[in-house]
Amino acid sequence: MLYKTFSDLVTQYMGLTQIELNSNGSPPPAPYIAFDVISPNIPINEYENDESNAFEAAVSFTVYAKSKVEALNLAQKWRDMLNTQHVLIALQAADVVVVERMATNIRYIQETASVAAMVGFDVMLRLHSPFADEDMDTITKVDFISKGAN
């Protein structure tokens, strides 16, 4: 759900392709954005099974571009776009809340012939579990029956 939601937004508002980081197949021509879930389930409080079924997740966006300047500009543009009214409304419709946008930073990997220009940032999201048992009553009391000594 997250991949599809953000992929649609990247295409609509940035005109770029989004891929899953470390996915199979050849990457598209640069520039493009790679998406990765880096922490899929972070409890909001000490009660991991609270009634709201809400939790947080950390995701990463990395812009791959032909130059460092292009990667810096596109990453900052996408980071800023995640704070616009249009994108926030679209995320709200998908039941996704942006909690925090971290600063952009340069990310390099060595390729066989050159160094790819990569700039990325991480985002904390608040989500709701789709696996909630909303129709089930909560167990509030358990009675133990003693069978006596054997």
Who wins on pLDDT, 26 or 100? 100
pLDDT of residue 44: 83
Backbone angles phi, psi at 44, to 5 degrees: -80, -35
Mean pLDDT of 56-69: 94
pLDDT of residue 145: 72
Rounded percentage of the chain residues whose pLDDT exceeds 70? 77
Read off the pLDDT of residues 104-138 as tens digits, 9 standing for 90 and up: 999 876 554 555 689 999 999 999 876 655 566 66
Letter for the amino acid at 112?
T
CATH 3.30.2000.10 applies to domain 2-128: yes
> Which band of pLDDT confidence, cut at 50, 70 and 90, is reported for residue 26?
confident
- 127 contacts 58 by C-beta, under 8 angstroms: no
Using the structure block, give the residue that is written with the tokens 């032909």: 66
Residue 15 in this model has a pLDDT that exceeds 80: yes
Q: What SS3 state is found at 76?
A: helix
> Which band of pLDDT confidence, cut at 50, 70 and 90, is reported for residue 52?
low
d(CA 71, CA 94): 28
